[in-house]
Amino acid sequence: MQTPHFDPDAPGVGDGLFGLSLDPRDALVQVIPVPWEATASYGRGTRHGPAAILHASKQVDLADADFGEAWRRGIALLDLGDRIARWGDEAEHDAIAVIESGGEHPDRAAKVDHLADLVHSVVEAEARRILHDGGIPAVLGGDHSTPLGLHRAICEAFPGVGFLHLDAHADLRQAYLGFQYSHASIFHNTLELPGAGRLVGVGWRDLGRAERARIRDDDRIVPFFDEDLGRALEAGTPWAALADRIVDALPPLVHISVDIDGLDPTLCPNTGTPVPGGLSWRDLQCLLRRVAQERRVVGFDLVEVNPGRWPLPPGARDGIDAIVGARTLFKLAGCAITSQARG
């Protein structure tokens, strides 16, 4: 557990997330780092997201206006060694060849998918352990393909669980550039899982024609498109009322999936596929407060944070992407912990 002399107002000097020093397996929220970005098809660098967020998290003050001292229940980043990073390195050459060819080389794409399946299996096993021990599992990516193993474990443990998906993209493509386990296919793959319930999308604004048809024809998918949210705000609807509508669309048990590009790109300029529009920081805070008040969060993931440069040069400070990523992770953990009061 946290050392008894820990001072939450002191600088974050501990080795763990947010400067906390505790055995990760004693934490209620256990974060699985997944430094994998093989299928990133535009900008690359999200494999450095977990390390950069860990570094930036030491600057987060723990007295949170939204969720109080929820951190005292424990938030920790697990150490899974370097095998996922090694699989990512192994996949890199084939993945880039497929991407640069526009989806040619199906044999190479199959190699990448095989390595991705190994990643998902590791994440799923770790998530199952956390759930068995009564914890809240989370994934910190990497690209948006990384939480599939977590989604498998969540759907198995909580049949009918809903997914709150904040993103610029719907990620409903059956495959992308030949990759079955693409960052653009995560919610196609998740909705195929036994136990997956409703998908509520927020901030979606860059979609393909087939994705829009899928959304129209699948009553499990409830979209809150960015353009529709914008029109409602222009007409005078308060964001708080829109947040209530979003939460009302969710079942009692919820997994939250946040692609950082769901936010205004001024908050995440280095993310791989930034799109104009998106949620403000205050929009995100309001929505997470409403979720914590009305639903129980059983897991979450945060993906696509790209620090822009890594490792940092000596004496350099973290960029805005890592800083926003660390604070988003803290808010997600606080939301999940606070929501446990709903049983």
Residue by residue, DSSP assigns 153-211 as HHHHHSTTEEEEEE-SS----S-BTTBTT-GGGHHHHHHTSTTEEEEEEES-----HHH
Residue 184 has pLDDT above 70, yes or no: yes
Sheet bearing 75-77, strands edge to edge: 75-77, 29-34, 136-141, 296-303, 253-259, 161-166, 196-202, 221-224
| pLDDT at position 130 over 80 | yes
Tell me: the pLDDT tens digits for 207-238?
999 999 999 999 999 999 999 999 999 999 99
Mean pLDDT of the chain: 93
Task: Give domain limits for the chain.
Answer: 17-342
Least confident range of 41-50, 67-76, 131-140, 274-283: 41-50
CB count, 10 Å around CB of 145?
29
The maximal CA–CA distance of the chain, rounded, in angstroms, is 58
Between CA 225 and CA 258 the distance in angstroms is 15
Residue-level pLDDT at 78: 96
Residue 260 gets the label, from left (phi > 0), alpha (psi -120 to 50) or beta, of alpha
Least confidently predicted of 130-134, 179-183, 214-218, 256-260 = 179-183
Give the pLDDT score at 343. Answer: 60
Q: So what's the pLDDT on residue 40?
A: 84
Classified as helix, coil or strand, 288 is helix
The SS3 of residue 63 is: coil
What per-residue confidence (pLDDT) applies to 2?
54
- Residue 342's nearest CA partner among 244, 254, 283 is 254
Confidence of residue 190 (pLDDT cuts 50, 70, 90): very high
Reading phi first (left if > 0) and then psi (alpha if -120 to 50, else beta), residue 318 is in beta
Q: Is the pLDDT of residue 99 over 80?
A: yes
* CATH class held by domain 17-342: alpha beta
* Structure tokens given for 286: 């309001």
- Residue 325 in tokens: 């990523």
Q: What is the pLDDT of residue 15?
A: 79
DSSP H or E run through 255? strand 253-259
**Other beta carbons less than 10 A from residue 21's beta carbon:** 14
For residue 317, what pLDDT band results from cuts at 50, 70 and 90?
confident
Taking a C-beta distance cutoff of 8 angstroms, is the pair 273, 204 a contact? no
What is the C-alpha to C-alpha distance for residues 211 and 252, in angstroms, rounded to an integer? 26
Average pLDDT over residues 253-269: 97
**What is the average per-residue pLDDT within 316-343?**
93
Name the pLDDT band for 42 (thresholds 50, 70, 90). confident
